[in-house]
Amino acid sequence: MGCHHHSSNHNGLHNAIQYSCNVYFYQAFRQYIYHNETGNTYKDSEKGLMRWREAIGRFGFGRRLGLDLPNEKGGFVPDTAYFNKVYGKGSWKFSNWYSMAIGEGELGVVPLQMANLAAIIANRGWYITPHLIKGIGKNGKIDPKYTTPNYVGVDSSKFAVVIDAMEDVVRAGTAGLARIPDIIVCGKTGTSQNKKGKDHSAFIAFAPKHNPKIAIACYVENAGFGGVVAAPIASLIMEKYLRPDSTLSKQRLALEKYMREQSFWPARTMDKEELKKEGEKKDEKSKNSKDGKAVAPDADSLKKEKTDSIRRKPVVSEPLVRQSRVEKGK
Ligand SMILES: [Zn+2]
């Protein structure tokens, strides 16, 4: 596994989180899987896998969390039976699935589980089962399963290093665009490889660092690096949640406008007829819009949005990066 080019050394969990170091997580996962077992790498892989599966199951991975809505998905965490089926019993080991160390490969997670993970870290080791209903009837009572903390079996003291690192991810790491003025945001970026096109952009976060009020997961398909797209979107949502009565600063409003105007539909080739239609549409649009600039969408244009966005060019991330440099300079 190759190392991203990051400035600081990658010895230690703090830096590994701050700079998203694949190599660190590969080594840590390997040690965890092979820890204290038989010395036979095949047998140790089986034992380690099941130990890991059970541990992250307590964090809500590989199963439904129990949301009060139908059709919740549970994601997927493979077990020995799965790999026996794929490779044959006794003929697979850690090296067959090490990419799960960085959340790739066989591992399947749903965004709700990742938001829940952010909540677990924010709470330093426990979560309340996610739910939408706050209360039913005069007493406002709900099923006790939505008011009882679930502990993940990791001592609360162990979360400090993760939380400090997630603060630095936003302060000086891969997610500078997630910063909210006067609020300490803790986050982690993710970039998920996409065989069909541009990477998927991912970001989880919670805020404020002390006495946290909101945890969030943001996934944007075909949008590139997590720090460039998902992070600013999540950050704007968190700011609006934490300060519902105040308006965004000028810079933050500009960022919001920029994010709203993006489309991440993958480019697809148009046939001749479509190209012709597209040309006619452009002519019409330039007549209607004021000096060719984007105008706020009304109800009618929102209806058209779905079909329109398919034809829009995929976003280029550079302008946003430039924008963040400008912000820094100021
Ligand atoms: Zn590294």
Task: Please give the distance, rounded to the nearest whole angstrom, from the Cα atom of residue 246 to the centre of ligand 1.
Answer: 40
Q: What is the pLDDT of residue 228?
A: 83
Residue 141 shares a structural domain with residue 178: no
pLDDT digits (tens, 9 = 90+) for 121-148: 999 999 999 999 988 888 888 999 999 9
Cα separation, 113 vs 262, in Å, equals 26
Decide which of 96, 122, 154 is a domain's last residue. Answer: 154
Cα separation, 72 vs 115, in Å, equals 14
Task: Please give the distance, rounded to the nearest whole angstrom, from the Cα atom of residue 25 to the centre of ligand 1.
Answer: 9
Domain total in the chain: 2
Task: Please give the distance, rounded to the nearest whole angstrom, from the Cα atom of residue 243 to the centre of ligand 1.
Answer: 36
Q: Are the C-beta atoms of 17 and 10 separated by less than 8 Å? A: no
Residue 317 shares a structural domain with residue 169: yes
Task: Please give the distance, rounded to the nearest whole angstrom, from the Cα atom of residue 202 to the centre of ligand 1.
Answer: 19
Residue 322 reports pLDDT greater than 60:
no
Q: Which of 63-67, 260-264, 277-281 has the lowest mean pLDDT?
A: 277-281
Decide which of 154, 177, 198 is a domain's last residue. Answer: 154
Task: Please give the distance, rounded to the nearest whole angstrom, from the Cα atom of residue 15 to the centre of ligand 1.
Answer: 8
Q: Which of 2-16, 109-123, 250-264 has the lowest mean pLDDT?
A: 2-16
Task: Please give the distance, rounded to the nearest whole angstrom, from the Cα atom of residue 4 to the centre of ligand 1.
Answer: 6
Residue 212's CB is within 10 A of a number of other CB atoms, namely 21
Residue 326 shares a structural domain with residue 182: yes
b or e along 104-117 (b: 16 or more beta carbons within 10 Å of the residue's beta carbon)? eeebebbebbbbbb
Backbone angle region of 267, left / alpha / beta, with phi > 0 → left and psi within -120 to 50 → alpha: beta
Per the model's pLDDT, the better-predicted residue between 202 and 315 turns out to be 202
Q: Are the C-beta atoms of 60 and 127 separated by less than 8 Å? A: yes
283 domain residue, yes or no = no
Q: What is the pLDDT of residue 329?
A: 40
Residue 169 shares a structural domain with residue 150: no
Residue 63's CB is within 10 A of a number of other CB atoms, namely 14
Task: Please give the distance, rounded to the nearest whole angstrom, from the Cα atom of residue 162 to the centre of ligand 1.
Answer: 17
Cα separation, 242 vs 212, in Å, equals 10
Task: Please give the distance, rounded to the nearest whole angstrom, from the Cα atom of residue 225 to the centre of ligand 1.
Answer: 17
CB neighbour class for 118 (10 Å; exposed up to 12, middle 13-18, buried from 19)? buried
SS3 for 206?
Answer: strand
**Residues whose beta carbons lie less than 5 angstroms from ion ligand 1:** 3, 10, 21, 23
Cα separation, 63 vs 54, in Å, equals 11
Confidence bin at 314 (pLDDT 50/70/90): very low
Residue 250 reports pLDDT greater than 90:
yes
Task: Please give the distance, rounded to the nearest whole angstrom, from the Cα atom of residue 31 to the centre of ligand 1.
Answer: 17
Question: Which is it for the CA torsion 162, 165, 169, 174, positive or negative?
Answer: negative
Task: Please give the distance, rounded to the nearest whole angstrom, from the Cα atom of residue 69 to the centre of ligand 1.
Answer: 40
Cα separation, 192 vs 218, in Å, equals 12
Confidence bin at 327 (pLDDT 50/70/90): very low
Residue 18: domain span: 9-154
Residue 148 shares a structural domain with residue 183: no
Residue 61 reports pLDDT greater than 60:
yes
Q: Are the C-beta atoms of 225 and 194 separated by less than 8 Å? A: no
Q: What is the pLDDT of residue 123?
A: 97
Residue 308 reports pLDDT greater than 50:
no
Task: Please give the distance, rounded to the nearest whole angstrom, from the Cα atom of residue 177 to the centre of ligand 1.
Answer: 21
pTM of the predicted protein model:
0.78
Residue 70 shares a structural domain with residue 171: no
